[in-house]
Chains A and B, each alone.
Chain A
Amino acid sequence: MSAHRMRMRAASVVAGLGIVALLVAGCTRGGDNGGASGGESAAASPGITDDSITLGITTPLSGATAGPGTCTVAGITAYFGAKNADGGVKFGDGKTRKVEIKALDDAYDPQKAAANYGQLKDSVFAMTAGLGTPTNRAWREAAIADKVPQALIMTGDPIFSDQKESPWQLGFVPIYQNEGEAFGKLLASSSGDHKVAILSQNDDYGQGYVEGFKKGIEGAKNIEVVKELTYEATDTSVDAQLTELAGSGADVFFNAMSITPLVISSLQKTQELGWKPSWFLPSNTSSPSAILEPGGASAFPGVYTVAFAQSAAAPTFADSDAGKTFLSDLKQYADYPDTPAFPHCVWSYQVGATLDQVFQKMTEPTRDDFMTQLRSIKDYVAPLMLDGSSVDTTEDGQPAVSTVQVQKYNGKGYAPATSWE
């Protein structure tokens, strides 16, 4: 009931903001037309001038998701910081612009995210990179009404990649279903029989993974799902669920969990129980240094995850040229001195690189042209991408990155896994 009421309240806030936004947008557009009656073919959208463009981000910088959230700002800031230091980004209209970023904290609170959007939308050209499904959903409709791009955001929710429903949106990271399906397919290709136990977060996140996984194993006679349980994102312990699942005798455990501490304690608890299945973990909760090592994951026959980007914590990363540049940019321009434990820093860096591609194709300084070019990137291999993954924004219903590689933990980092063994 209270959830319903909250949704109603959120909806009315969004609606209210929408009305205000329309009024303000009406005013500014009128003003623009008056000012830009000179030679240009189309009036410039807000947030862009001849020598600068401003991007907005609303993302959690405090609260439980602040670690990944801080990364979503740091990566893109590092990318464009380095570009700005080189003079700026050369746009398709021949002008070179510096990229400025305005980031606000929403603490993973949808209402705050909507308020942040309201605060930013008239001074930024586009919104980008922000993390979170409920938070990005909170202002999606307002952004459509205002015609403000909500581009390359970090959520696996498919709604943002559906062009009809979300004409001004595009997700960056693979949708939950992509990840679940990749794992299901790999497992189905195994020569042996497997029993699977599933624990999933009781929301779109968990359901998306399970849905994708079941699609992946569809028709596979050797795979049986023996037990499925859920937990709440607010739970402090899932020991009872693990005890119940351990009793199922499954040899594969699909843990669709997004809460870092819970994944660590799950790895430990399962070992205590003497249950040693193979694990599958989502891409955002499978960090070797932040989760697998403290959880003692080497005790299991295999820990699998999917990825499309290199892991900054991998031993070889800091030695590669691209890795070196990334880490030094992060330190110099984004004030992020540590090697990031979350993949979101690399993802956000790739969002920057993808936006760079879009900017290079833009021939008019308008949000309309931006959206057109945003949907025209194909086969672009962004820095730090894994072999086999690329950016493709042309397919309706898919996010910018939809090809993922299944990876297996080898005690230090991840190595590609092409078959189940």
Chain B
Amino acid sequence: MGTFIQLVIDGLSTGSIYAALALAIVLVNQATGLINFAQGGMAVLSAYIAWQLTAWSVPLILAILISIAVSFVIGALVERLLIRKFEGGDPDTAVVVTIGLLTLVTGVCAWIWTYNNRLFPSLFPLDTITIAGAVISIRSLGTILVIVAIMVLLQVLFLGTKLGLALRAVAINPQSAAFSGMPVGRLLMVGWGLAAGLGAVAGALVAPQLTLTPNMMDGALVYALAAVIIGGLTSPIGVVIAAWLIGVLENLAAVYVPFIGHDLKIAVPFIMIFVVLIIRPQGLFGRKTVVRV
């Protein structure tokens, strides 16, 4: 029983890493209608900025806050200078542009900071507490709580604020939004900026555990995309729950289903995707998109 609880807790903790990235992807999607494959790469860049600041002996909390602010600006600039040229065109082109951006950002990080592993100080102490026979590290607990807080904030932003409403309007129908007097361009920049800032939080949470390298987020990105599809592109709560499900089920399947084992567990989220897409194409928590003719 102790092992079972431990596996669930471990799953929630790795799931939170996927969730952090998945939330940033949802944010960009809600604000611009795009899937940004470069989200992981941009999060790594943010983490490097924070790391560089700590290397210049800026206190960790301050370094992360500065990196969030800088990332917001970088995100907004990327939208304005690069993505803007492809908006309104074929969405497939824009997606390919974001994949190119991922390669570029990874290359830039490697160029500046090399591929050597950098040790990123942890926001939380390494101590542990024991609950019901399972050991929970303060770090995992902290990561999980931060994710929950961000998830609630995003849900409130999109459903309860004017800015959220405007962001959604621009994403769903940019033309009508423009006709009703909304500053579409500026809202798109804000959407990308917010997502990049959120990515910076994700990067700072993940980097102590994975150690900072330019490719740090590549593996997590695959799981984050799976969480986004399973949870539904429109629902912050949905993707977080999906990411946790992936983390937990993956662990349990590896240990308790001998046929899967530790070598095939990466297939678990993708089997879940097939099942979910067949039963509920809009994702577990997503809303169906209705188009008025």
Contacts of B274 in A (CB 8 A): none
Task: Please name the residue on chain A nearest to B209 by beta carbon.
Answer: A265
Residue B89 at the chain A interface, CB threshold 8 Å: no
Residue of B nearest to A260 (CB): B117
Binds A, one of B3-11, B53-61, B227-235: B3-11
Q: How many residues of B contact A (CB 8 A)?
A: 36
Tell me whether A67 and B116 are in contact in the complex, defined as CB-CB below 8 angstroms, given that A243-B6, A243-B7 are known contacts: yes
Closest to B117 in A: A260
Contacts across chains A and B counted by CB atoms under 8 Å: 91
Which one, B64-72, B149-157, B166-174, B210-218, is touching chain A? B210-218
Q: Are B251 and A240 in contact (CB under 8 A)?
A: yes
Which one of B2, B11, B115 lies within 8 Å of A64 (CB-CB)? B115
Whether, in the assembled complex, B110 has its beta carbon less than 8 Å from a beta carbon of chain A, the answer is yes
Distance (whole angstroms) from the CB of B10 to the closest CB of chain A: 4
A234 to B11, CA, bound (A): 17
Judged by a CB distance under 8 angstroms, whether B220 is at the interface is yes
B128 and chain A: residue at smallest CB distance? A272
Asked if A62 is an interface residue, CB under 8 A from chain B, the answer is: yes
B203 → A minimal CB distance (Å):
14
The interface residues of chain B lying within 8 Å CB-to-CB of A264 are 211
Say yes or no: is A232 at the interface (Cβ < 8 Å to chain B). yes
Contact at B6–A236, with CB atoms within 8 Å? no
A66 near B110 with CB under 8 A, answer yes
A268 contacts B10, C-beta separation under 8 Å: no
Say if the beta carbon of B254 comes within 8 Å of chain A.
yes
Counting chain A CB atoms within 10 Å of each CB, the highest count among B10, B219, B250 belongs to B10
B288 at the A/B interface (Cβ < 8 Å)? no
CB distance from A252 to the nearest CB of B (A): 20
* Partner pick for A229 among B213, B216, B250, B262, CB 8 A cutoff: B262
User: Do residues B211 and A232 form an inter-chain contact, with CB atoms below 8 A?
Assistant: no
Nearest Cβ distance between residue A61 and chain B, in whole angstroms? Answer: 8
Q: A244 to chain B: which residues have CB within 8 Å?
A: 3, 255
Contacts of A235 in B (CB 8 A): 219, 262, 266
Contact, CB under 8 Å: A265 / B210: yes
A300, CB-defined interface residue at 8 Å: no
Is B13's CB within 8 Å of the partner chain A?
yes
Contact with A along B253-274 (1 / 0, CB 8 A): 0110000011101100000000
- Residues of chain A from 306 to 361 with CB closer than 8 A to chain B in the complex: 341
- Residues from chain B with Cβ under 8 Å of A271 in the complex: 126
Cβ < 8 Å to B, chain A residues 14-61: none
Known: A239-B13, A264-B211. Is A66-B255 also a contact (CB below 8 A)? no
- Contact code string B82-108 (vs A, CB < 8 Å = 1, else 0): 000000000000000000000000000
A290 interfacial contact with B, CB 8 Å: yes
> A63 with B115: in contact, given A240-B7, A244-B3 (CB under 8 Å)?
yes
Question: Does B119 lie at the interface of the complex (its beta carbon under 8 Å from any beta carbon of A)?
Answer: yes
A363 on interface, CB distance cutoff 8 Å: no
Which residues in B have some Cβ–Cβ distance to A below 8 Å?
Answer: 2-3, 6-7, 10-11, 13-14, 17, 110, 114-117, 119, 126, 128, 135, 137, 209-211, 213, 215-216, 219-220, 250-251, 254-255, 261-263, 265-266
Residues of A in contact with B (beta carbons under 8 Å apart)? 62-64, 66-67, 70, 202, 229-232, 234-241, 243-244, 247, 260-261, 264-265, 268, 271-274, 290, 294, 296, 341
In order of increasing CB-CB distance, the 4 nearest A-B pairs are: A66-B115, A261-B211, A239-B10, A240-B251
